[in-house]
Amino acid sequence: MKLSNKDKSFLKKTIPAASFIGGLCCFSPLILVLLGLTSVSFAASFADTLYGQYKWIFRSAAILFLLLALGWHIYKKEKLCSLEQLKRQRRKVLNLVLSAISLGVIGYVIWLYVIVEIAGVLLGIWS
């Protein structure tokens, strides 16, 4: 079953936001360096602390955001308010949820381990 244009539009908006939230553990030190608020050595230490001890908080916040956005979209935009309606449309809902989760993971990996990593290396925060 294909996703509707409304679902595709929803995914185009929420996946980047969820990926951004999940990658804030390493992106925040980059912003601090770019704004001139901290030194590169402090940013490297800060990134190590955030990624080492708190990465699961950022990842959990991203997943929570994605799940809440999915719930809102299914309830408000798709007008599936009861369990009976949800059962009738379960294939569509399952496709949407699995698409959102898989695209969210791919977006997170690209954002954090490619884009933020390259920016950090270019700024000299990590090598």
Query: Token match 């898989």: residue?
Result: 102
How large is the average pLDDT for residues 114-119? 95
- Residue 1 — pLDDT band, cuts 50, 70, 90? low
- Residue 88 — pLDDT band, cuts 50, 70, 90? confident
CB under 8 Å to 117, separation ≥6 — which residues? 26, 126
Whose CA is closest to 108, among 48, 5, 49, 20? 20
Whose CA is closest to 66, among 25, 105, 112? 105
For residue 90, pLDDT over 70 is answered with: yes
CB under 8 Å to 38, separation ≥6 — which residues? 29, 32, 46
For residue 111, pLDDT over 70 is answered with: yes
How distant, in Å, are the alpha carbons of 20, 24, 77, 127 from that of 85? 33, 37, 13, 52
3-state secondary structure at position 61: helix
pTM of the model: 0.88
Chain centroid to Cα 78, Å, comes to 22
How large is the average pLDDT for residues 19-37? 95
- High-pLDDT (> 70) share of the chain, %: 99
